[in-house]
Amino acid sequence: MLSAMFLFLTLPSGAGSKLIIPRVDKPPTIGAFLEMKCPEEWLGKLAMVDDFTQREPQDGEPATQRMITYLGYDTKHLYVIFQAFDLEPSRVRASLTGREQIDRDDTVNIQLDTFSDHRRGYTFICNPYGIQADAIWTEGEGYDFSFNALWYSEGKLTSKGFVVMMVIPFKSLRFPKQESQEWGILLNRDTPRLNEDVFWPHYSMKIQGRLNQAGTLSGIEDISHGRNYQLIPFGFARSYRSLEDGSSPGFIEDDMEHVLGLDAKVVLKDRFVVDMTFNPDFSQVESDQPQITTNQRFEVFYPERRPFFLENADMFTTPSQLVFTRRIQDPDWGLRLTGKAGAYGIGFMALNDAAPGKAETPDSPLTSEKATIGILRVNRDIFNQSTIGILMTNRDFGERSNRVFALDTRMILTEHWVASAQAGISETKNQNGQEMESSFTNLIFNRSGRSFNTHIHFLTTGEDFRADLGYLGSLHRTGTKNLHGSGSYTIWKNKPQWISWAPGFSASYITGPDGRVVERAAGPYAEFDFVGKSELELKFNRTEELLTQDEFSGMAQDEMFVSNLYLVSVANHMLDWLGLEAEFEWGDAVNYAPLEGTSPFSADAEKGGIELIFKPLQNLNIGLNYLFSDLMQNQNHAIIFSNQIYRNRVDWQLSRQMSLRAIVELSRIKTDQEMTFLKEREILNTDILLTYKINPWTAIYLGYNTNERNRQLIGSEDNPFILDPSENRHHDGSQIFVKCSYLVQ
């Protein structure tokens, strides 16, 4: 009875939309469809969809731009052809750019729920030139663009719009081993200049969930998964020179440091994927986005970018982020198993990590030791789109250990409301043998709809709770109870340039282990959406924050600080050759970095950034970024510290496979040494990368990097030391490297 109720609540969707696709005798080609009609030779031989419906801006209305999709298959491939008509074809947005850099272009995509469980779907996206992006959609979490698959695509602009053809090998998908397949399917077109997002079948904003609104794809029979292994040998070599601190500071260099390794993938019984890596090179080819890190009370988050950890990363995602793989820095080997059998999903990971031993002092017995790491995730589907699962993590280093065990669930309550919950315990042993045990809970209620949306979140975290492999951030502060939430109401204007606006309110209330309030905050906000993916946000927030002597030894007594912050954020992408995003925040804030032995204090604050994106050519992107954070004395507005980051990035796509990227970044901190312990710093980094990429695994990278900063090696050869900071920038390090990988399957 209960499962029937959940099914009923999801039926006002695409559940009644069915698509039967035929088997074809030969592959279609994109050239046959460029006249924006079905060629005579393919009439009646392909399934056709042409009744697309808006999700945005006018939910349920017919698409304003005509769209036709044709589908067919053979034993090895799924074929999808999109004919996207446009009343103003010259305004179609299309870039010859790198893979997964098409978010500002017109796009088409297909989403496949191959297990028909309404929980997880493969997504394949193309711009009008056929440039690819792919992702996994997970209900309750959204897109994970770290997923990569091997598939093929072409795209052409026409006098009436554009045509895209996708060829998706069945061996790139996971699906039940049975003669006849029945999958969930969504077809989509996004037209940014109109803010128009259309789907088949209708995917409504009025109903919670996405895959529960998908149509049914049937007719696929007797298909092959293909080969069940992939081998990706790779090599990395570099010549470098770097200034290192330590007992004998100086430059170290190596004319030819090299690494040879192997990544391997094996598919077991068409259900589970085993990923292995041996002697991996975990250096990042793509640099992290710049962030202001000064005067931050809590750890700043940087997303994972290393390929071994990315595929099926959503399998290890839970309401609290207990698995954050950037904690694993330098493994010799790694093993992962992920997959699904019936209603059960399983994820397992085992690695070692040499980084903790390398961080020890030379006289430590742990200098050559490596941490051992194990992670196990099991979840089970229940009802319709609901799940229950367990997660266990373990990290051992010498006598130190940390183990976490947690239970979690995600439940669909109504067509609008979803609840997520998690509870767990940690057991930690320090190097001296001291043992600690503690627990946490996490409860979330979300309501989504076309107008009213809300988020309610309650967490408790024990004083001794530790998750060495996780990222807890400011939410899971040890020893606290945290209640926060937000709510907004969208008013749809549906005017030529103004789409909607949404007033809202957010608030938080956090108490410590003794019951005292450690933080409370509240304030209104409003969001405005305009045509062309342009937005405006206004926000005010008042925060009362308790700082204690335990955290700041210079305080004479615990003290509550009050901060009032105002924010204006704008984004404008109405022009296809120019994009603008800017944010400015001002008010007052706390100086968390006072001189040692002194107390934190309130100060005037200004913080923000601006990004300009120029596209003078279809294959050339120029990004200009400026970030700043200033803290100033209340009395005379004198600078306590000023942190500025200038970043210029040029991406030149020489061909579909070859690209050249150049980044120049200057980071600078100026301080008043009588007001803060922060040191003045200036770093100039130049990064050049030439890439030839056939697919995500077959690629050649040639890179050069050089670094200057205000530190200098001085003294004699017998007594060298580093002056940090010095008055001027000096060469700090450089490297030239080549990295190659090749997919064998």
407 contacts 439 by C-beta, under 8 angstroms: no
C-alpha separations of 566 from 524, 546, 584, 719 in Å? 10, 21, 8, 52
**Secondary structure string (H, E, C) spanning 274-307:** EEEEECCCCCCCCCCCCCCCCCCCCCCCCCCCCH
Say what the pLDDT of residue 247 is.
67
Closest by CA to 639, choosing from 598, 584, 682, 680, is 680
Say what the pLDDT of residue 94 is.
95
pLDDT in tens, 329-364: 888 899 999 888 888 999 999 999 998 988 888 788
Burial 25-34 (b: 16+ CB within 10 A, else e): eeebebeebb
Euclidean distance between CA atoms 285 and 691, whole angstroms: 10
Query: pLDDT at residue 455 above 90?
Result: yes
Arithmetic mean of pLDDT, 249-271: 82
Query: pLDDT at residue 719 above 80?
Result: no
Work out the pLDDT band at 554, boundaries 50, 70, 90.
confident
Say what the pLDDT of residue 253 is.
82
Say what the pLDDT of residue 8 is.
33
Closest by CA to 297, choosing from 473, 439, 470, 173, is 473
C-alpha separations of 590 from 206, 568, 587 in Å? 42, 20, 11
**DSSP letters spanning 68-120:** EEEEEE-SSEEEEEEEEE-SSGGG-------TT--TTS-EEEEEEETT-SSSE
Q: Which helix (H) or strand (E) holds 6?
A: helix 2-9
Arithmetic mean of pLDDT, 388-416: 95
Cβ of 168: how many Cβ atoms within 10 Å?
A: 23
Which pair of structure tokens corresponds to residue 652? Answer: 């030149």
693 contacts 699 by C-beta, under 8 angstroms: yes
Arithmetic mean of pLDDT, 252-260: 82
Q: Which helix (H) or strand (E) holds 423?
A: strand 417-429
Closest by CA to 474, choosing from 687, 638, 611, 301, is 301
pLDDT in tens, 51-75: 999 999 999 999 999 999 999 999 9
Kindly provide the residue ranges of all beta strands, DSSP E only, lying in 462-516, ordered along the sequence: 480-489, 491-492, 498-511
Say what the pLDDT of residue 13 is.
45
Compare 290 and 478 and report the one with higher pLDDT. Answer: 478
Burial 276-289 (b: 16+ CB within 10 A, else e): bbeebbbeebebee
Closest by CA to 115, choosing from 385, 507, 329, 304, is 385
Least confident of 139-143, 517-521, 646-650: 139-143
Q: Which helix (H) or strand (E) holds 564?
A: strand 559-575
Arithmetic mean of pLDDT, 610-618: 94
**DSSP letters spanning 646-678:** EEEEEEEE-SSSEEEEEEEEEEEEEE-TTT-SP
86 contacts 35 by C-beta, under 8 angstroms: no
Tell me: cis bond preceding 89? Omega within 30 of 0 counts.
no
Q: Interior CA angle at 738 toward 734 and 740, to 5°?
A: 155
Where exactly are the structural domains of the chain?
2-221, 302-412+422-444+461-472
Arithmetic mean of pLDDT, 491-503: 91
Work out the pLDDT band at 3, boundaries 50, 70, 90.
very low
C-alpha dihedral, 94 to 100 to 101 to 107, nearest 10°: 30
Burial 715-734 (b: 16+ CB within 10 A, else e): eeeeeeebeebbeebeebbb
Residue 209 main-chain phi, psi, to 5 deg: 100, 160
Fold of the domain spanning 2-221? Immunoglobulin-like (2.60.40)
Say what the pLDDT of residue 528 is.
97
Residue 282 main-chain phi, psi, to 5 deg: -100, 25
User: Percent of the chain scored above 70 by pLDDT?
Assistant: 96
Q: Burial, 553: exposed, middle or buried (Cβ in 10 Å; 0-12, 13-18, 19+)?
A: exposed
Closest by CA to 478, choosing from 538, 535, 428, is 428
Arithmetic mean of pLDDT, 638-665: 95
User: Percent of the chain scored above 90 by pLDDT?
Assistant: 65
Burial 591-612 (b: 16+ CB within 10 A, else e): bbbbeeebbbeebbbebbbebe
Work out the pLDDT band at 2, boundaries 50, 70, 90.
very low
CA 309, 312, 316, 320 dihedral sign is positive
Arithmetic mean of pLDDT, 369-381: 95
Arithmetic mean of pLDDT, 606-615: 95
Q: Which amino acid is at 455?
A: H
Arithmetic mean of pLDDT, 312-321: 88
Longest dimension (CA), the chain: 85
Q: Which amino acid is at 477?
A: R
Euclidean distance between CA atoms 252 and 243, whole angstroms: 6
pLDDT in tens, 262-299: 888 888 776 788 889 888 766 656 666 777 778 888 87
Say what the pLDDT of residue 226 is.
62
Which pair of structure tokens corresponds to residue 11? Answer: 């039926």
Q: Which amino acid is at 163?
A: V
Closest by CA to 172, choosing from 78, 86, 68, is 78
C-alpha dihedral, 709 to 715 to 716 to 718, nearest 10°: -90
pLDDT in tens, 622-648: 999 999 999 999 888 899 999 999 999
**What value does the CA radius of gyration of the chain take, rounded to a whole number of Å?**
27
320 contacts 470 by C-beta, under 8 angstroms: yes
